[in-house]
Amino acid sequence: MNLLLALILLPLLGAIVVALLRGNERAAKPVALGFSLAELVLAAVAWASYRPGGARLQLSGSIEWIPTYGISLSFGLDGIALVMVAVIALLMPLVLGFSWRERLPSERSRGGFFALLLVEQALTVAVFAATDVFVFYVLFEIMLIPMYFLIGGYGGSRRQYAAVKFFLYSFLGGLIMLASAIGAYSYAARTTGQGTFDWATLRGVLADAPTSVQVWIFLGFFAAFAIKAPLVPLHTWLPDAAEQAPIGVAVIVVGVLDKVGTFGFLRYSLPLAPEASQLLAPLVLTLGVVGVLYGSLQAFAQTDLKRFIAYVSIAHFGFIALGIFAFTSQAQVGAASYMVNHSIATGMLVLVIGMIIARGGSSRIADYGGMARVTPLLAGMLLVAGLSTLSLPGTNSFISEFLVLIGSFATRPVFAILATVGMVLAAVYVLRLYQRIMQGPLSGTALLDSAGGPGAATDPEFAASGGTGSGASRLALRDLDGREIGVLAPLVVLIVLLGLYPAPVLDVITPSVEATMSEVGVTDPVTSQGGN
């Protein structure tokens, strides 16, 4: 518990310190980075102390908060929460590193930006660690506020619209979830005489609840999570948010924040409403597969780089939902590891695209072309991120996607086959993007104008260097500098390492997934292991 509490409070402390220093950017930035690195160390310690075969929830602890309603501040980690905490701890220093010199809207202080990012990190860690349904809801909603200010205060030209849309969608979903949480509480109060919001207790009580009760509870939680991890009819906030948010924030949104939704499916929807989740699985699977296909096609059609990322993510969330609701342990392990791998792959994709935008000053795909000639390293990075996104064997995402498909084929062959089409489409949209931006002759207004154009203004150092490194080209395009390589290198290493040797993640996740499966009361179909 103490370790977990430190994990939650350290970024918060960092945020306070950075907020106090926000007038002095030179001091605020290293302090913020220092806190995020310390958090990474803490996360590593937590990972080391976690025993995969041990208790369902580890590092757990509880403080009484509102005894009248059976609410206590309870925290604990299972394997899935642990890897998500590790992912945000990993991404945050990279995001700070990326945003080190990113241009912000006028009169906005970078210290404030970094402080808000650290607050968001603390709340996200807490939301993954919460083991009291009420506390989870509270954090789920509070999490929106720093994000609202991050998007609305530091984003693009339509940032207000995007921020309000983001907030209202998530807030509405959260309130519907609250109705379900209250319903679960009331049911517990009626059957056991003692109302509670404790996750483990509720799980035990609700396991025997009639299906009709479970269906309502399931639907309430589902509304919140389907908005968060956008499933297709509820996804429209994500392209706007991703387009308008600054790159660093977009990484956190698609990399971590949205995972709260899929995490919620695994931690809350399935165990709290086991019968209903099986009953309604076809609904979720349909939405998931529709999301895979629709997201892929939309990604193919996008003209804006950031919206492209949003639709790629929507397609991937469809995969994750498919894996979770196929109810085989293979598929669920695949889905849970996909949550990590998607964060790494898409996080890197967003960062690389952010670096492209920093050079061209535009997020329109048509404004770029043939960059590989001038910036071979950047092109290579985009290729690595893209290949991981399309799940090329040998990259980290492949093993997850493969597990999801093979696992879901055992129980839901039709859905699995349809989703496989999504894999093919992914190859098409990623490679086409790479081709348009990187290959062929140098073209595109953003690049040709960039010598003295908006691209120069985005990066002061670049303007100062005056394009001396461009060599053969008369264009002042600069390849990756040391800071940018430092930001991307850890992700490249992880993509390759986890692609070749996924065991570290899978070992941590598998026991938790198996526990979830047994809580739902499902066993794997014999055929999937029997080599039928």
Partner 1 sequence: MGVVARTGVPDRHSEVLAQQSTDMPPIAYAAVAPVLIVLVAACLGVLVEAFVPRRQRWAVQVALSLLTVVCAGAALIRHAREINTGGTTFADTVAVGPATLFLWGTLLALALGAILLIADRSIEPGGAFVAETNAASGGTASRHPADAPGAASAEVMDRASASVVGMRTEVFPLVLFSLGGMMVFCAANDLLTMFVALEVLSLPLYLLCGLARRRRLLSQEAAVKYFLLGAFASAFFLYGLALLYGYAGSVKFSDIADATAGSLRSDTLLFAGLGLVVMGLLFKGSVGPFHLWTPDVYHGAPTAVTGFMAACTKVAAFGGLLRLLHVAFRASSWEWHWVLWSVAVLSMVIGVVSGLTQRDLKRMIAYSSIAHAGFLMVGAITLTERGLSATLFYLLAYGFTTLAVFGTIGLVRTSEGEATHLSDWAGLAKRSPVVATVFTFLLLALAGIPATSGFMGKFAVFSAAFSAGMGPLVVIALLASALAAFIYLRVIVLMFFNDPAPDGPTVSVPGAFTTAAITLGVVVTLLLGLVPMLALDWASVGGFVS
Compute the residue count for the chain.
532
Number of Cβ within 10 Å of residue 82's Cβ equals 24
Q: Contact between 2 and partner 1 (CB under 8 A)?
A: no
Q: Which is nearer to partner 1, 250 or 447 (CB)?
A: 250
Question: Which residues have CB under 8 Å from 440's CB, separation 6+?
Answer: 369, 370
Q: Which is nearer to partner 1, 219 or 410 (CB)?
A: 219
Site residue total, partner 1 (CB under 8 A): 33
Task: Find the binder of partner 1 among 1, 27, 38, 164 (CB under 8 A).
Answer: 164
d(CA 115, CA 31) in angstroms, rounded, equals 10
Q: Which is nearer to partner 1, 190 or 432 (CB)?
A: 190
**Cβ contact 323:331 at 8 Å:** yes
Q: Contact between 149 and partner 1 (CB under 8 A)?
A: yes
**Residues of this chain, 175-234, that bind partner 1 according to CB under 8 A:** 175-176, 178-179, 182-183, 185-186, 189-190, 195
d(CA 385, CA 472) in angstroms, rounded, equals 27
**Residues of this chain, 314-353, that bind partner 1 according to CB under 8 A:** none
Tokens of 403: 């597990």
The angle at the Cα of 200, spanning 196 to 202, to the nearest 5 degrees, equals 45
Q: Which is nearer to partner 1, 69 or 300 (CB)?
A: 69
Least distance from C-beta 276 to partner 1, angstroms? 16
**Residues of this chain, 56-85, that bind partner 1 according to CB under 8 A:** 66-69
First vs last C-alpha separation in the chain: 46
Question: Which residues have CB under 8 Å from 78's CB, separation 6+?
Answer: 56, 57, 58, 267, 512, 515
Piece of the chain touching partner 1 by CB under 8 A; list 134-142, 356-364, 426-434, 456-464 = 134-142
Task: Find the binder of partner 1 among 75, 114, 137, 409 (CB under 8 A).
Answer: 137
Task: Find the binder of partner 1 among 22, 29, 159, 259 (CB under 8 A).
Answer: 159
Least distance from C-beta 402 to partner 1, angstroms? 40
Task: Find the binder of partner 1 among 24, 157, 160, 212 (CB under 8 A).
Answer: 160
**Residues of this chain, 391-450, that bind partner 1 according to CB under 8 A:** none
Piece of the chain touching partner 1 by CB under 8 A; list 1-9, 141-149, 245-253, 256-264 = 141-149
Q: Which own/partner contact pairs does 168-171 have at CB distance under 8 Å and 24+ positions apart?
A: 169/227, 169/234, 169/236, 169/237, 170/141, 170/144, 170/224, 170/227, 170/228, 170/237, 171/141, 171/144
**Cβ contact 272:221 at 8 Å:** yes
Q: Which is nearer to partner 1, 217 or 292 (CB)?
A: 217
Q: Contact between 142 and partner 1 (CB under 8 A)?
A: yes
Q: Which is nearer to partner 1, 110 or 159 (CB)?
A: 159
Bridge partners, 198 (sequence order): 132
**Cβ contact 509:333 at 8 Å:** yes
Least distance from C-beta 132 to partner 1, angstroms? 13
Q: Which is nearer to partner 1, 160 or 518 (CB)?
A: 160
Q: Contact between 21 and partner 1 (CB under 8 A)?
A: no
Least distance from C-beta 195 to partner 1, angstroms? 8
Q: Contact between 171 and partner 1 (CB under 8 A)?
A: yes
d(CA 450, CA 82) in angstroms, rounded, equals 43
Question: Which residues have CB under 8 Å from 403's CB, separation 6+?
Answer: 323, 330, 331, 333, 334, 337
Piece of the chain touching partner 1 by CB under 8 A; list 34-42, 156-164, 287-295, 391-399 = 156-164
Piece of the chain touching partner 1 by CB under 8 A; list 1-9, 38-46, 131-139, 475-483 = 131-139
Q: Which is nearer to partner 1, 189 or 207 (CB)?
A: 189
Q: Contact between 95 and partner 1 (CB under 8 A)?
A: no
Tokens of 469: 């490194």
Q: Virtual CA dihedral for 85, 90, 92, 98, nearest 10 degrees?
A: -160
Task: Find the binder of partner 1 among 35, 75, 114, 167 (CB under 8 A).
Answer: 167
Please, how many CA atoms are within 13 Å of residue 225, restricted to the half-sphere of its CB? 28
Q: Which helix (H) or strand (E) holds 72?
A: strand 71-77
Q: Which is nearer to partner 1, 164 or 428 (CB)?
A: 164
Q: Which is nearer to partner 1, 55 or 66 (CB)?
A: 66
Q: Contact between 152 and partner 1 (CB under 8 A)?
A: yes
Please give the DSSP secondary-structure letter assigned to residue 278: H
Piece of the chain touching partner 1 by CB under 8 A; list 28-36, 147-155, 241-249, 501-509 = 147-155
d(CA 222, CA 285) in angstroms, rounded, equals 13
Using CB under 8 A, list all residues that contact partner 1: 66-69, 107, 137-139, 141-142, 145, 149, 152-153, 159-160, 163-164, 167-168, 171-172, 175-176, 178-179, 182-183, 185-186, 189-190, 195
